[in-house]
Structure 1
Amino acid sequence: MPVNRGPLMVFSGQSNRPLAQAICDNLGIPLGHSKTEKFTNENLIVHFEDSLREGDVFIVQSFSHPVSDAIIELFLMLDAAKSASAGRVTAVIPYYSYARSDKKDAPRISIAGRMMADLLQEAGADRVLTMTLHSPQVHGFFKVPVDHLSADVVISDHLKSRVPNAHEGVVLAPDAGSIKRASAIARRLDSGLAFIDKQRVSDTAVDPRALIGDVSGKTVFIVDDEVSTAGSLVEAVNFSKNMGAAEVYVAVSHGVYSGPAIERIAGLNAVEVASTNTVFVSEEKKAGAGGKLAVLDVAPLFAHAISNIHTGESVSTLFE
């Protein structure tokens, strides 16, 4: 049953203001006014220019470049919102990069995904809204409610629009860990499914050993949670082409595109590399990739989730 809360208010940090504005456009409300400044000693200060008293406040901030500044800015915004007597504060983190650090897989390291969850809660987050965590178990690190959205619907719809006979293609998982995600998209496309089996050859390198499934003469859709430096992506595309794939499309939730990624994508033997706008992709990067980058809009999905959270309605309906 819908609940009555204070006014719905959406604010944005500096990491992805275009997405925050698009979310507000879908909600039919203005983006809240806030200001972030950096002192000469590189300390940040944030200031809300609107009254937040008893408001249902959502703060949009991706953990993207520069990641540390983005995280500290979000902590400061959460703390400032609580100090300003906001009724409830939700951290909207479209891209939660520290989800990669979900376990202690080496001696004397921090499980940073859990630590970030603790710090977000300590800073004042009453709730978290995110999308496509690299490791879904990070969800369990939080003691506050977490709504974990999926980009599968947006990605599947895009692939159908790009390839009318997508059901005749094959969704390819670049490794065994991506099979579950690839399988979900294959069901939506009503297509085939395959995955690349890899073997570790050193502490820092793995090589593809076999392709489980048939891609010969078919359109292949490589899907994953994110592209960072694109090294694994190049490997997966080349391997599928060597196994006879006719055309290759790539679709991921988060287009981080760091380091040599843009240069690698420009030379990639693929029709397109699509990602959602959870991470801001500049026009410079699009041009540098030779027109191969496509950006898919998830603002309507976040807006719908925020609306349902605000009114106390189910968010799980967005997965149907």
Structure 2
Amino acid sequence: MKLMSGNSNRSLAQGIAAHLDLPLTRADVRRFADNEVFVTIDENVRGEDVFVIQSTSFPANDNLMELLISIDALARASARRITAVMPYFGYARQDRKTGGRTPISAKLVANLITRAGADRVLTMDLHAGQIQGFFDIPTDNLLALPVLAQDVRQHYPKPSDLMIVSPDVGGVVRVRTLADRLGSEIAIVDKRRPRAGESEVMNIVGDVEGRRCILFDDIVDSGGTLVNAAQALIDRGASEVSAYISHGVLSGPAVERVTNSVLNELVITDSIEQPQAVKDCPKIRTVGVAALIGEAIRRISNEESVSKLFD
């Protein structure tokens, strides 16, 4: 087995390598003067089971091209099996037509990865589970839930006193899974989205009066929805509000919004490499998923069950 990393999240790749006690494969992933991506693999990978670790986060297109070209280089170097390890799968929110003459970009990206030469995909907390069906190759979708649930237990001694809140109706199943694991109750924020990137809270389903609330979701991007939901919970009488989110995209004014919000803290995983502004924000905390992804890689390489990680 060999591990290879692109440039999108080197620190996570190094954490996975440390967990597996394997060095990262020597490779040069760089740019030509015109910004074309060029990949050179500096050691023999013929007949190897290779895992390419690359989140397709910002800059999404550059990181996606790094992944595709790395896969092509490995295929042409006669790697036995190539697994695209994508802790964060960019374009996942474009999983359906939202209007006339619009694309389904998640399917396009799945096709590109398959045609580039990947034999299987390993990702985490897809925005929509059915995206697994967009791939014509085996796809494992890991859940960050066990890692986040353990962090909740460490920081909230009585999880049964918590109210786990979905920031929209679509996330109810995800929230119910966490609440059942913790023995907590759930609430739902009913909102409408007048346009992309904007949301308006309409109602809170559930009694949050005097409760410690945890918003739980898969992605925080600009932070508008999260901050509005937190404010609505406080307005309905919640004693405090925190948020646990799998992928911290945190684009644009997100850090400023979180800093100035009523949120006690925002907890994210390290599926995306964060800029210094996020690392310096006192309200944002990161938990690691290197051990989770590393164990999944080990199980795939040894032909063992991955789903047992979540039993």
Q: Do both share a fold (TM > 0.5)?
A: yes
2:17 paired with 1:24: yes
Contact 1:286 / 1:292 at 8 angstroms: preserved in 2? no
2:262 paired with 1:301: no
2:307 paired with 1:316: yes
CA-based RMSD of the aligned residues comes to 1.2
Identity of aligned residues (%): 38
How far residue 86 of structure 1 moved from its aligned partner, in angstroms, is: 0.3
Match of 2:68 in 1: 75
Match of 1:86 in 2: 79
How far residue 280 of structure 1 moved from its aligned partner, in angstroms, is: 1.0
TM-score by length of 1: 0.95
Structure 1, residues 236-291: CA drift from partner, whole Å, max 9, x if none? Answer: 1100000111111100000111100011111111111001010012333221x2x1
Misfit runs of 4+, over 3 Å: 199-206
| Partner AA of 2:252 in structure 1 | G
Contact 2:199 / 2:224 at 8 angstroms: preserved in 1? no
2: CA distance, partners of 1:44 / 1:165: 50
- Summarize the alignment of residues 253-272 of structure 1 with structure 2, pairs less than 5 Å apart: 253-272=246-265
| Partner AA of 1:20 in structure 2 | A
How far residue 204 of structure 1 moved from its aligned partner, in angstroms, is: 7.2
TM-score by length of 2: 0.97
2: CA distance, partners of 1:315 / 1:250: 27
Residue of structure 1 aligned with 2:212, choices 219, 235, 247: 219
2: CA distance, partners of 1:203 / 1:151: 26
Contact 2:28 / 2:39 at 8 angstroms: preserved in 1? yes
- Select between 306-315 and 96-105 the one with higher mean Cα deviation: 96-105
Contact 2:123 / 2:140 at 8 angstroms: preserved in 1? yes
1: CA distance, partners of 2:5 / 2:194: 43
Structure 1, unaligned runs of 5 or more: 1-7
| Partner AA of 1:292 in structure 2 | K
Contact 1:129 / 1:149 at 8 angstroms: preserved in 2? yes
Number of aligned positions between the proteins: 311
2:29 paired with 1:36: yes
Structure 2, unaligned runs of 5 or more: none
Residue of structure 1 aligned with 2:8, choices 10, 15, 32: 15
1: CA distance, partners of 2:146 / 2:201: 29
